[in-house]
Amino acid sequence: MATTKPPFGVYTPLVTFFKEDESLDLDAIKAHIKRMAEGGVAGLVLQGSNGEAPHLDHGERINIIQTTRSYLNELGFTTVKLIVGCGAASVRETLVLISEASQAGADYALVLPPAYWTAAMTPAVVENFFSSVAAEAKIPLLIYNFPGVTSGIDISSDSIVRLAKSNPGKIVGCKLTCGNLGKLQRVWSCLPEDSFAAFAGKSDFMLPGLVAGSNGVIAALANVVPALHVRLLNLWQDGKLQEARQLQSKLSNADGALQKVGVAGVKAVISHFFGYGTGRGRRPLGTTTVQALNREILEPLEDVIQLEKKQRSRLSRI
């Protein structure tokens, strides 16, 4: 088992494209993988919230992981890491998903707390769940804290720190989509940075997250503008804070717009501006197009997409 944390960098929580009959659109998925890798991301997060994980069966999950790993290798991006969503309602099912993901090529598992029996999920129960999974998992875990998809379960910094300390080399990070910068700061300050990766989970607080100790970012907007997120990371590392703040403001406005359109809307934006896939979600999620989005949503997205294309053009000349 690898015991190192995920490398510092930008990670895209990949959307899953479907054909009209709702089967996997592997051609669109591969086109998306290629654009992300060429944009400079450090890794891809498969089968997370943006990947419609609850809508995929085991065979489809395995297919996507294998396709992604083999295609990245074929393109020469062998160091791009794969973090794979493996959360389920029981320890047993979570371990099955992790085992399948590991065999298919995953480097890390991203695990939500179980949320079906919400009232029973006390901090002690949640911590026992993660420790039980970590004890038997084939690959290291990242704790996924996203109250919006777990009926409000919000894992505290105390719980995250306890879990990391009691499961060294097995629980190696967390994704904080909750947006709690104080939590991110506390986790960073209490755990060794060389062995635990606390990730900001949205673009709209990427730069503040870096200041607080984020290991980069895992952000839905990176599906649209990956190179621009890498640019912000580089500005931060180079100490160009004023320029970084200006770019962060554009990403924050675009991320705010993207949050209003849902997963299908993210795919519709990608389809319209980059020429692959469609805005189709698996039912009960709907299908949409860019034409259905109002100007208030599109303008901040068009702004960052234009900057993304300029950034990619600049990189291609280097």
Print burial letters for 210-231: b (CB count within 10 Å at least 16), e (below 16).
bebbbbbbbbbbbbbbbbbbbb
Amino acid (1-letter code) at residue 82: L
Of the candidates 199, 168, 179, which has an alpha carbon nearest to the alpha carbon of residue 12? 199
Helix 91-104 with 58-75: angle, nearest 10 deg: 30
State the catalytic residue, choosing from 5, 81, 144, 183: 144
| Rg, C-alpha atoms of the chain | 18
The yes-or-no answer on residue 144 being catalytic is yes
Q: 267 catalytic, yes or no?
A: no
DSSP 11: E
Coil vs helix vs strand at 215: coil
Would you say 98 and 75 are in contact if contact means Cβ atoms under 8 Å apart? no
φ, ψ of residue 24 in degrees (nearest 5): -60, 135
Decide: residue 71, CB within 10 A, 0-12 exposed, 13-18 middle, 19+ buried. Answer: middle
Hey, which residues does 185 pair with through a beta bridge? none
Q: Is 64 annotated as a binding residue?
A: no
Main-chain phi, psi angles of 270, to 5 degrees: -60, -45
Which residue among the candidates 5, 170, 175, 202 is catalytic per the annotation? 175
Binding residues for pyruvate: 218
**Residues tagged active-site:** 144, 175
